[in-house]
Amino acid sequence: MPQNDNEIFASIGGMVLKNMHNRLKVIIPFLLLIPFALSQFFGLSRGLDNIVRDNLLTSAREPSDKVIIIGMDEASINDIGTWPWTRNYMADAINILTEAGAAVICANILYDLPSIEEYDEMLIDAARNTDRLVLGAMGEFADMQYSTELSIENYIMPFEGLEDAVAVGFLNAEPDRDGVMRYALTSLRYGDIKVYSLAYEAYSVYCSAMGIARGAIPLDNSGQFPINYAVPSGGFNALSFRSLINDELDPAMFKDKIVLIGPYARGIESGNYAIPLGGRAQAYGVEINANIINNMLEGSFKRDAAWWVNLLVMTVIAAIAAVFMHRLKTLWAGVLTIGLIFAQLAVTMLLYLQFDVILKSGDVILLLIFCWIANIILGILTAQYEKRHIQGIFGRFVSPDVVKELVTGSVDIQLGGSVKEITVLFVDIRGFTAFSEANPPEKVVNMVNRYLGLTSRSIQENGGTIDKYIGDATMAVFNAPNELPNHALCAVKAAWAMKLGSEPLREEILRDYGVDLQFGVGVNTGQAVVGNMGSDFRMDYTAIGDTVNTAARLEANSGKGQILISDATYQLVKDDIECTDLGVLMVKNKKTGIQIYGLDNVLS
């Protein structure tokens, strides 16, 4: 009988699924590339980028000896008194450093409001005695930013009188969303002009004082550049403010140096931020500015990679994943994923060390992980579908236990076929032609189904696989697809069960229709090619070869109620059966005859 629609669809579905599975594995990296490229462009995975950057791309180095910090530390507070101090102390510090020949005196403090007039005048006088003093200012950001360049709507300068005597730079800082200071905000738009940071103004004054050219600073569109930290908190040469004003320090040490003065104690500084070096420990604002100025002195600037560079690297990694990941099993695909992640990190380090470029790695790492997870999920879904596909193909032709083995993978079904020893059984209804000619089709179909039901049960109960129905005939295979010990005996038992089970049905048909219907059976054992065979759009699990042809010829030569077995089968079951030697059967297209036996009884 031909396959029904469900079988055809099952075969087609299996092939379609395989093709879809392979194609999906190839295109998954490119499908995921789109959302992850957008995520990279808009910085949605900045957290993972920062983890890679902070732990892989930052390392301490010896800072410039041209930068000295004068810290308003705990010792100074204990000596001078509670913060804030009167401004005569700062005036004294400026005068001492001016006389010492400091190249820049930079106070990390905002003096925006007047205080005690006498002390304010002292500070103004000290400022007017030098052209190397830089004080802090503060910009007030506009509520709405209409471009990538940050703008302020108000600029808070030092109080009147002091404002005109000094250079000023803003103290504003823009930490990342995780509170870590990674970028130096260097310029702000204030109306029609640009104002610059305290660190930049200090660097400019230094270049002017030393008569050297000011190096170009690679700012991004928002007026920032990545800080290439030299040292963590406590890494710069930091001296106590009290030691300076008490003349406890050698003035010569300040000659031609950039001297930064600022709060250096907890509780008096609002500009403390975590920095990448030192495990994201807090650093004082004066220390962050010291690192920024150190960058400017060294010219050791890093810059973020252009968007197209990040996209190019991500695309190349995705292409490698697409080419190789679909060829690998889950474990090796995981190894490939880890290898590609390390390759991405290696490229990131190479670009950073050799080209001063900071590559975004977070989205590439997530892309690879998601590719691997997607392949796992696709594999699971495919495996589930294949189980249903196997059940669809074999569920009605083999026993439930065999189907279970096939589904769990205990039995391997090799596509394309393999050679193995099997026992093949053919059974046909003798007298069927006369019965079909004498009765209407519906009765013929009913009778055939009853006989085929008997053959099917006999085959399945003895571990066989129903290969196909051919009209009123049935072909069965034993020892495929599942391994079946004593497969020859199982086939003989199935044939004997058909003979015994057909007797009541034979008597009923004989009584009702006057036709004697009996089985004729042929059984043969030998090597055959077993597997999925057919065309691109339809295939069957079947067996082919001389072993199959011989079994069919034995069945064709069997009489009513007769079971013929070949010598090959007989040698495997002779201790478990009773039979009659029927001699040699000559069949068409065979030069030698076939030794055959008639089965009389099954002993076990």
Domain harbouring 474, CATH code: 3.30.70.1230
469 and 367 share one domain:
no
Tell me whether the omega of the peptide bond preceding residue 218 falls within 30 degrees of 0, making it cis.
no
Q: Is position 481 within any domain?
A: yes
* pTM of the shown model: 0.67
What integer pLDDT is reported at residue 415 of this predicted model? 56
236 and 138 share one domain:
yes
Is a pLDDT exceeding 80 seen at residue 305?
Answer: yes
Is a pLDDT exceeding 90 seen at residue 519?
Answer: yes
What integer pLDDT is reported at residue 9 of this predicted model? 43
Q: Is position 57 within any domain?
A: no
What integer pLDDT is reported at residue 19 of this predicted model? 60
Comparing 364 with 384, the larger pLDDT belongs to: 364
Round to whole Å and give the CA distance between 492 and 603: 11
Q: Is position 399 within any domain?
A: no
Nearest to 72 by CA among 343, 349, 380, 284: 284
98 and 126 share one domain:
yes
Domain count, the chain: 3
pLDDT of 248-284, one tens digit each? Answer: 999 999 999 999 999 999 877 667 899 998 888 899 9
The answer to whether the CB of 202 falls within 8 A of the CB of 134 is: yes
285 and 328 share one domain:
no
Is a pLDDT exceeding 70 seen at residue 405?
Answer: no
202 and 293 share one domain:
yes
> What mean pLDDT value characterizes the chain?
88
The answer to whether the CB of 360 falls within 8 A of the CB of 305 is: yes
Domain containing residue 160: 67-303
- Which of 391, 424, 451 is the last residue in one of the domains? 391
- Which of 252, 269, 303 is the last residue in one of the domains? 303
Angle at 335 between CA 349 and CA 312, to 5 degrees: 45
581 and 511 share one domain:
yes
296 and 313 share one domain:
no
297 and 311 share one domain:
no
Distances 406 to 117, 399, 491, 538 between C-alpha atoms, Å: 96, 11, 20, 20
129 and 174 share one domain:
yes
Round to whole Å and give the CA distance between 551 and 353: 76
- Which of 303, 322, 351 is the last residue in one of the domains? 303
How many CB atoms lie under 10 A from the CB of residue 468? Answer: 16
Is a pLDDT exceeding 50 seen at residue 8?
Answer: no
Q: Is position 404 within any domain?
A: no
Q: Is position 450 within any domain?
A: yes
288 and 141 share one domain:
yes
What integer pLDDT is reported at residue 146 of this predicted model? 67
340 membership: H or E segment, kind and range: helix 330-355
468 and 554 share one domain:
yes
Choice among 92-101, 218-227, 323-332 with the minimum mean pLDDT: 323-332
530 and 559 share one domain:
yes
pLDDT of 17-39, one tens digit each? Answer: 556 666 777 788 888 888 888 88
